[in-house]
Structure 1
Amino acid sequence: MSSASRCRPWNVHRLPSAEAKVFLVTGGNAGIGYFIAEQLASTGAVVVLGSRDAAKADAAMTSIRSRVPGAHVRHLQLDVADLSSQKTAVEGLGLDHLDAVVHNAGVALDNPPRRETKDGHELMFGTNHLGHFALTQWLAPLLLAAPAGRIVTVGSFAARSERLDLRDLQSTQDYRPKRTYGRSKLAQMCFGFELDRRLRAVGSTVRSVVAHPGGALDSLTPSRPPVCVTTPGERLRALPAGLLVQGKDAGAWPVVRAVLDPEVRGGQLYGPRFFGLRGTPRREPVPPHMADPAVAADLWSTSGELTDTDAHLGFR
């Protein structure tokens, strides 16, 4: 790669070609996941939408095809929160390699009561973190079969102000929805950075990268009916907020860069340029509490026990 290409600024509206590549986006049928899928589809890649709801996935694929002529999109029946179904779901991909997975699917609850997954885990921690932790094991052979596979974990700005309580990861003792959500996203991000350390230790070609969307509001998001509909009135009322935050289409930009940019390296963090809340994507310094090796090692060990997952996640 020439020095000129290395210095060329990343342009969110002129993405590099990714023809012949295959990307899986969990939760790609709605929210930020939808816009990640739409933007990746514009590169010529095959984009697989991992979703438990076939009807919503069909609507998302119809919308993407209407905006990206010739888009190569397909659906994978996938419930990240149902650990026992993951192996069968991944086998249903029918692929010989996977260039990147975007660990995006998530749950955010605003009010009690505390809820649990089918496997008995607190719903947000079980879906956002444990589900993707376990899914990585089943995807490992496909990622290793790619020339330079990537695992992009989607975190949250909310994780900056949280700290993990390793004695109460599932909020059984003290459940506060917003805090539990922030901690579940922090767990995801800690996992992404720890995974990078472990991949490097074994000399793997797979990279683990973390990205977050900053502040992304529905009211600032362009309509993609029937996937999402924003009325002119909603957009008008949200204009003042647009000084600080952005829509979910822009929230997808850091994640898409983490997937596509050839300059991205494992262990890096990408987010919006301005205060980590809005703007074009850039590399950010990793906050120390997200990269603490001791905390990450404890989280990894506990996550493996809770999901009955191999400690190496298939990357030996």
Structure 2
Amino acid sequence: MSPTSTTTPPWSVRRLPRADGRVFLVTGGNAGIGYFVAEQLSATGATVVLGSRNPAKAEVATASIRARVPGARVRAVRLDLADLSSLEKAVESLDVDRLDAVVHNAGVALDHPPREETADGHELMFGTNHLGHFALTRWLMPLLSAAPAARVVTMGSFAAKSERLALGDLQDVGGPGELGGPDGLGGPGELGDLQSRKDYRPKRAYGRSKLAQMYFGLELDRRLRAAGSPVTSVVAHPGGALDSLTPSRPPVHVRTPGARLGAAPAALLVQGKHAGAWPAVRAVLDPAVRGGELWGPRVLGLRGEPRREAVWEHLADPLVAAWLWDASRDLTGADPGALIG
């Protein structure tokens, strides 16, 4: 056997490893980056399940994937992360005995007021993007633990890099400081509350909801490692991903010639959503990926093939992450850590 015959080939987004027999769930897999994560994973021979709150859009997406990936094993389940009471039933509808990976991708991004709430009374972006995935993980944990080496991949956002959490801001009811918080993290209202009851700014609310997701992904891995679980948790982000740089997948996504030409200068710095999917896809498939890592685009964290990058300094604080975990458990009534083992 030659010395190079056992060497793992370099990672290529165009030559993904096979994953026959494995089962992956992609939340929000009917559109945007989630669609391309699902399409790319389907090409590996795995069974890919799209979690979507809109069955009609999910059916369009599955048809598109089947048209582009011959023999694709893809289907959809109804999943509404804005309704915590529906999540147990959604997981039951997966009808599988194990889950090899989940990509926590689904998200709401609002550009303008008014402030909206989930069925459970949480600010819509924080409640869907973070709390919904936090609670979903609790119901998925038995299926993940049944797989030989499952992965939880949480899709963060470059928008979270400039945000910070003041943990007293998580309080939902009661007076200032009622939930407390670690020393040195600032008091309630210092950065505005994550539920955005006092000062609703959509872009800031979105960035903080994604930051909370990323904290969760890293804290989940710490708890999995402490319990000796074979499940690992990885965080990814897509960099800068624009619709105007995304190839058409009609009727899921249609890019006009005018949009393509108008976005050409932006391609020097950012990319399309097909490329924004690459870090999450690598986090699912690459055997070299380890729990607790952060994966993003190679060029300035904005575009290019996926690479491991240093965990952002403000994400590396386990004290903040642990406090957010406890607050999220209290807000959702769910504890993903209770079934780790």
TM-score calculated relative to the size of structure 1: 0.98
- How much does 1:169 deviate? 2.2
Are the equivalent residues in 2 in contact too, given 1:301–1:311 (CA < 8 A)?
no
Mapped partners of 1:6, 1:35: distance in 2:
29
Q: Does the 8 Å CA contact 1:152/1:209 hold for their aligned counterparts? A: yes
CA distance in 2, matches of 1:145, 1:234: 45
Map 1:40-51 to 2 at 5 A.
40-51=41-52
Provide the rounded CA distance (Å) in 1 between the counterparts of 2:309 and 2:268.
20
What are the Cα deviations for residues 195-245 of structure 1, in whole angstroms up to 9, with x where unaligned? 110000000000000000000000000000000000111101100000000
Q: Following TM superposition, where does structure 1 have runs of at least 4 consecutive aligned residues deviating by more than 4 angstroms?
A: 2-7
Q: Tell me if structure 1 keeps the 8 A contact 2:107–2:125.
A: yes
* Partner of residue 261 from structure 1, selected from 265, 281, 286: 286
For the Cα contact (< 8 Å) 2:49–2:77, is it kept in 1?
yes
User: Match for residue 189 of structure 1?
Assistant: 214
**Who is 2:194 aligned against?**
169
CA deviation string 1:87-146 (max 9, x = no partner)? 011011110000000000000011111110000000000000000000000000000000
| Equivalent in the alignment of 1:128 | 129
User: How far, CA to CA, are the matches of 1:220 and 1:295 in structure 2?
Assistant: 36
CA distance in 2, matches of 1:34, 1:226: 12
TM-superposition CA deviations, 1:253-279 (whole Å, max 9, x none): 001000000000000010000000000
Q: Tell me which residue corresponds to 1:216.
A: 241
Partner of 2:99: 98
Task: Name the aligned partner's letter for residue 298 of structure 1.
Answer: W
Give distance in 2, aligned partners of 1:165 and 1:15.
Answer: 40
5 Å-filtered alignment, 1:1-316, equals 8-166=9-167, 167=169, 168-310=193-335, 312-316=337-341
Residue aligned with 2:127, SS: helix
Structure 1 distance, partners of 2:10, 2:101, is 22
- Higher Cα radius of gyration: 2
What percent identity do the matched residue pairs reach?
72
- For residue 81 of structure 1, report the CA deviation from its aligned partner: 1.3
Distance 1:223 1:270 in 2: 25
Give how far 1:311 is off: 5.9
Q: Work out the CA distance in 1 between the residues paired with 2:28 and 2:338.
A: 21
> Gaps (5+ residues) in structure 2?
170-192
Any conservation in 2 of the 1:194–1:291 contact (CA below 8 Å)? no
Structure 1: unaligned runs, 5 residues or longer: none
Change (3 A) 1:268 1:6: farther
CA–CA distance in structure 1, aligned partners of residues 108 and 290 of structure 2: 28
Return the offset for 1:291.
Answer: 2.0
TM-score by length of 2: 0.91
The Cα shift of 1:313 comes to: 4.2
Using the alignment, how far apart are the partners of 2:7 and 2:224 within structure 1? 25
> CA 1:302/1:27 → structure 2, altered by over 3 Å: closer, same or farther?
same
